[in-house]
């Protein structure tokens, strides 16, 4: 059974960077195959992983709905079919599998934009079934979330083994982390473990931030320094997955994964 690692936190705290480092660690330690799921509508996980992204699940969903020949019947219900007699489930299954980006020892699927106006319940149900079916082929699932976690309930039935809530060393970041920590218990999926990661550290936390950190009552499993290396990679268009094992960032993600009990020896 696949182990699922999900990352959450307010926008701009570096969730995608750390998600990419986790994929790097899994690949380097041959804990493969890995499925990376980009659940952020901005869809930039592929840049960190160094692969091209041609379409997203959101694009496929909207394309399918555009092709449905709608007939409004009494009561406001809508019926329709796709051209050529193909079922909606088969349409989604084929195009989602085609949109799966294949990398070296990992694959990527991007969820893309959120729903537009109208009812998406039936479509989302099929999406959940298809994505969960795909996920069964992998050893690890790494989900880079949007700021919230609601999509996990809407778009996948997969439980989360490890939720890593990422914050920067700011009060706003810690407040967002606290809200996510509280909100996780209201989701329709089970989250087995939850931890806090502090990213972009420049020295120690001041007393005010340290006191607020105590309120959140989540174990801090990792502390990533504010590294110029990230900016250098971004400026040169270099994917972060190419980072070397002797960098402090990789060493810290190695520490995080060891704390989670995920290592080549434990595999």
CA angle, corner 163, sides to 216 and 265, nearest 5? 120
Task: Please give the sequence-ordered ranges of beta strands (E in DSSP) within 80-190, or none if there are none.
Answer: 101-102, 106-110, 140-145, 160-167
Within the chain, which residues score under 70 in pLDDT? 67-85, 113-124, 147-158, 265-267
Two tokens, residue 169? 């060393």
Rounded Cα distance between 98 and 42, Å, is 20
* pLDDT at 76 (0 to 100): 41
Distance of CA 194 to the CA centre of its chain: 15
Residue pointed to by tokens 């160094």:
50
By CB neighbour count within 10 A (0-12 exposed, 13-18 middle, 19+ buried), where does 102 fall? exposed
In the predicted model, what is the mean pLDDT of the chain?
Answer: 83
pTM of the model: 0.87
Question: Is the peptide bond prior to 193 cis by the omega test (within 30 degrees of 0)?
Answer: no
Percent of the chain's residues with pLDDT above 70: 82
DSSP 189: S
By CB neighbour count within 10 A (0-12 exposed, 13-18 middle, 19+ buried), where does 226 fall? middle
**What residue spans define the domains of the chain?**
3-259
Q: What is the dihedral of CA 253, 254, 255, 257, to 10 degrees?
A: 80
CATH architecture of structural domain 3-259: 3-Layer(aba) Sandwich (3.40)
* pLDDT at 82 (0 to 100): 60
DSSP 205: P
* pLDDT at 69 (0 to 100): 47
* pLDDT at 70 (0 to 100): 47
């Amino acid at each position: 059974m696949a182990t699922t690692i999900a990352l959450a936190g307010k926008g701009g705290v570096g969730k995608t960077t750390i998600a990419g480092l986790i994929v790097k660690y899994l690949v380097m330690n041959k804990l493969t195959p890995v499925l990376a799921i980009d659940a952020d509508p901005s869809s930039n996980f592929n840049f960190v992983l160094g692969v091209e992204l041609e379409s997203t699940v959101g694009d496929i969903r909207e394309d399918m709905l555009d092709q449905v020949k709608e007939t409004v019947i009494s009561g406001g219900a809508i019926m329709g079919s796709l051209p050529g007699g193909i079922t909606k489930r088969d349409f989604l299954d084929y195009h989602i599998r085609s949109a799966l980006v294949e990398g070296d020892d990992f694959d990527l699927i991007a969820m893309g934009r959120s729903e537009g106006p109208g009812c998406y319940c039936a479509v989302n149900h099929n999406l959940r079934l298809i994505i969960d079916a795909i996920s069964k082929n992998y050893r690890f699932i790494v989900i880079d979330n949007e700021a919230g976690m609601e999509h996990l309930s809407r778009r996948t039935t997969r439980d989360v083994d490890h939720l890593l809530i990422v914050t920067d060393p700011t009060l706003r970041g810690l407040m967002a982390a606290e809200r996510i920590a509280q909100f996780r218990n209201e989701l329709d999926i089970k989250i087995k473990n939850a931890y806090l990661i502090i990213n972009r550290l420049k020295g120690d936390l001041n007393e005010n931030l340290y006191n607020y950190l105590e309120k959140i009552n989540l174990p801090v499993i990792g502390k990533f320094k504010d590294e110029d290396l990230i900016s250098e990679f971004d400026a040169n268009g270099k994917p972060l997955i190419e980072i070397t094992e002797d960098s402090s960032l990789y060493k810290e993600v190695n520490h995080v994964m060891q704390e989670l009990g995920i290592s080549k020896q434990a595999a």
